[in-house]
Amino acid sequence: MGYGLEDLAGLLNMHPPIAEAWFEQTEAVVGFAPQKPSSMRPIILRHWAPSGPLAFVFARTSNLDRLEVRNPRHDHVSVWGKCRLHEEGNIIVSRPLPVPRDALDENHRMCSEEDQDTIDAVKSAPWKTK
């Protein structure tokens, strides 16, 4: 795949890289499973608006029953000490989630996706809700 404007902005450090930047944030912020407000949820960045307070992410779950985008386990904890994606997971691309851009900071950054199939699937998934 070629570079789009979002990709170039990420390369210029204007925002974290789209479809590659993994974060961990509370369910109170993410809203994927609001019944567990203090639980931590891994999320991958899908869209970073050029202005405004929101970014859009997809949640990752360990539930593989309704597989949307298979995400292989990560084994780069020596490089990314905060990464806890040690088991195969499922990225729910059918439900883009708006989160405050301020919530996607270096303190909450887990790692960077290395699987090209995952990156391509996340980039091609729509982030706008209807």
CB 116 within 8 Å of CB 85: no
Average pLDDT over residues 22-26: 97
Q: What is the pTM of this model?
A: 0.88
Per-residue model confidence as pLDDT tens digits over 34-83:
999 999 999 999 999 888 999 999 999 999 999 999 999 999 989 999 99
- Residue 26 phi, psi dihedral angles, 5° rounding: -70, 155
